[in-house]
A and B are shown apart, each in its own frame.
Chain A
């Protein structure tokens, strides 16, 4: 596989708590993106972090990127029941290819 693991594979928390998901990758990248998939729906783009960035925020989302460790984390603060979904990281390579390489995903359940 070209992509590494996402950790944890499943996460269950209470509403209001923070959720942290990690992603590792194997190849050099141009950027890393996080997607969310609600059950039975398509993937929704959440946030993109470029390879020269270390941290990025969007609303309740915080993404970090450590290219030396080839890893990224997604933090969702003050989680809500509506955040229940699967979360995937995806990388774009250094060349101008359109191909996204996905991790296996983390299934997040937020209990009300």
Chain B
């Protein structure tokens, strides 16, 4: 079974540009999560999809971030326009159910650098 995959693995962009990150969850996992770790800080929750619906987007930092999951399969996270403080590692995770004991399986992350 393939794990969670993320693309690209690294992205370097200029401030003000747009970047789109992609996450492919494990097949059959209805729940998809985005997290990020900015330099030196803890990993923080961004949002949670159940199928194509946003279950919880309380962690989205501002309206420069837009997450979509059309069709309930893969998800994209767009940052437009990117700012310096957006640099960090963006992780995606998926789980079959959203019960509290369900394991979230993480992808390798996308390292975003905004110059």
Residue positions of A touching B, CB distance < 8 A: 1, 3, 30-31, 35, 40-45, 48, 50, 88, 90, 92, 96-105
**CB atoms of B56 and A96 under 8 A apart:** no
How many angstroms between the C-alpha atoms of A45 and B106 in the bound complex?
8
**CB atoms of A48 and B59 under 8 A apart:** no
Closest A-B pairs by Cβ, 7 of them: A42-B106, A102-B43, A43-B106, A30-B100, A92-B100, A42-B108, A98-B48
The closest CB in chain B to the CB of A29 belongs to: B100
Apart from the given pairs A98-B104, A99-B33, 6 other A-B contacts in the complex at a CB distance below 8 Å: A30-B100, A42-B91, A97-B48, A98-B48, A98-B98, A99-B45
Q: Which of A1, A43, A96, A97 has the most CB of B within 10 A?
A: A43
Q: Which residues of B contact A105 (CB under 8 A)?
A: 42-43
**CB atoms of B42 and A3 under 8 A apart:** yes
The closest CB in chain B to the CB of A90 belongs to: B43
Q: Which residues of B contact A99 (CB under 8 A)?
A: 33, 45, 48, 56, 58-59
How many angstroms between the C-alpha atoms of A31 and B107 in the bound complex?
22
Number of A-B contacts (CB under 8 A): 64
How many angstroms between the C-alpha atoms of A26 and B50 in the bound complex?
27
B89-115 contacts to A, CB under 8 A, are 91, 93, 95, 98-101, 103-109
How many angstroms between the C-alpha atoms of A23 and B106 in the bound complex?
21
Q: With A40-B108, A41-B108, A43-B91 known to touch, is A100 a contact of B103 (CB < 8 Å)?
A: no
B31 beta carbon closer than 8 Å to chain A: yes
Chain A proximity of B93: nearest CB distance (Å): 8
How many angstroms between the C-alpha atoms of A35 and B37 in the bound complex?
14
Q: Which residues of A contact B43 (CB under 8 A)?
A: 43, 88, 90, 102, 105
Q: Which residues of A contact B99 (CB under 8 A)?
A: 96
How many angstroms between the C-alpha atoms of A99 and B35 in the bound complex?
9
**Cβ-defined partner of B55 (8 Å) among A31, A98, A104:** A98
**CB atoms of B104 and A45 under 8 A apart:** yes
Q: Which residues of B contact A41 (CB under 8 A)?
A: 108
Q: Which residues of B contact A103 (CB under 8 A)?
A: 42
**CB atoms of A48 and B98 under 8 A apart:** no
